[in-house]
Amino acid sequence: MIVTQTPLKDCYIIEPPVYGDDRGYFSVVHDKHAFAKAFPQQPPFLLQNESFSTYGVLRGLHAQKGDAAQAKLVRCVQGRILDVAVDYRPDSPTYLKHFTLELSGENHKQLLVPRGFLHGFSVLSETAIVNYQVDNTYQPAMEYGIKYDDPTLNIDWQLPQSAIQLSEKDEKLGFI
């Protein structure tokens, strides 16, 4: 497993080992022991979620507050997404900075998004399957978010405005 620090404090790119030949590939997408050694302060992941989306779907920006905060380990199983992490921890040196990374079924990269970060992604391919592990249960009353086009964040989602598809919940989110 190759671990690379992003420009955001505590946010990392994870590249699991991938073994390929003319038949396809085999990958160890999560090794609990290797992960615990690389990130000893990270609580274990409790849930594994998966979403299927079509081109132009934009999910985010979401997080959970307080004791309900979640770290996420995100990967794209099929297709291509632009994954976005925003440091929303007021005491962090990278507060309100964001990082984007293309995750795909081909590059096998993963993004470790720590607690206190907003997270979202846009679908760049015809379809995409996104898998993410979280280290805390989902508590709807503790969820909050910021609208994807917040001018303070100024995120380039790599989609034409006319292609963006939002949920009703994401349409109603406010700005910073």
Q: Where in the sequence numbering do the catalytic residues fall?
A: 62, 132
In angstroms, rounded to a whole number, what is the distance separating the alpha carbons of residues 107 and 94?
A: 27
Task: Tell me the three-class secondary structure of the chain, residue by residue.
Answer: CEEEECCCCCCEEEECCEEEECCEEEECCCCHHHHHHHCCCCCCCCEEEEEEEECCEEEEEEEECHHHCCCEEEEEEECEEEEEEEECCCCCCCCCCEEEEEEECCCCCEEEECCCEEEEEEECCCEEEEEEEECCCCCHHHEEECCCCCCCCCCCCCCCHHHCECCHHHHCCCCC
Cβ atoms of residues 18 and 108 within 8 Å: yes
Query: At a CB cut-off of 8 Å and minimum separation 6, what does 28 contact?
Result: 1, 16, 17
